[in-house]
Amino acid sequence: MDKRPKRRKDKYNPYTLYTKAGRYYISFVDVNNNFQEIAVSQKVFESFNKFELEDISQMNEYDRHLEHSEVYEHTLHKKKDSREWSLEEYFENVQITENLHMAISKLPEVQKRRLNKYYFEEKTFDKIALEEGCTYQCVQRSVYRAVEKIKNILKNL
């Protein structure tokens, strides 16, 4: 029995092609779950073979090149953010991050704390003012001044 190389099967391609003693056969399991083996001409056999190869090619293209997940705004952002960085970009980003941490460390303790709460803990000026027992304007001025100081420190590097 001369079977064809193993090929991917799906519900639309349930048959197997093979030759035996110079004759061409197609086998499959029918809807009643009975095994069927049918002798066919070489022309029909080659047509099935060609169709099967084209079908495999289409399945491979689908697997490799088409999007298989739901596209939502958050998945698009995730893909955008997950791009590969070059070595230069990576080390530039590391340097920027180190410079930013160094600049923040030079701030007075109150400005550091408020800046952290506002930008990293994502709290509002009102909430920070309530926590620290001061006014909205006091917190706002403190954060904006901290940002200006950081800009000046980074500009002088």
Predicted confidence band of residue 3 (pLDDT cuts 50, 70, 90)? low
> Are 107 and 150 in contact, with CB atoms under 8 Å apart?
yes
The contacts of residue 25 (CB under 8 Å, 6+ apart) are 17, 18, 19, 37, 38, 39, 40
Paired tokens of 107: 């701030």
pTM above 0.85, yes or no: no
Q: Considering Cα of 45, then 49, then 30, then 24, what sign does the dihedral take? A: positive
DSSP state letters, 29-94: E-TTS-EEEEEE-HHHHHHHHHHHHHHHHHHHHHHHHS--S---HHHHHHHHHTPPPPHHHHHHHH
Q: Give the domain ranges of the chain.
A: 2-65, 85-155
| CATH hierarchy code of domain 85-155 | 1.10.10.10
Query: In which residue are the tokens 């391609």 written?
Result: 13
Quick: pLDDT tens for 100-120: 999 999 999 999 999 999 988
Residue 95 has pLDDT above 60, yes or no: yes
Predicted confidence band of residue 16 (pLDDT cuts 50, 70, 90)? confident
Residue 138 has pLDDT above 70, yes or no: yes
The residue that leads in pLDDT, 113 or 85, is 113
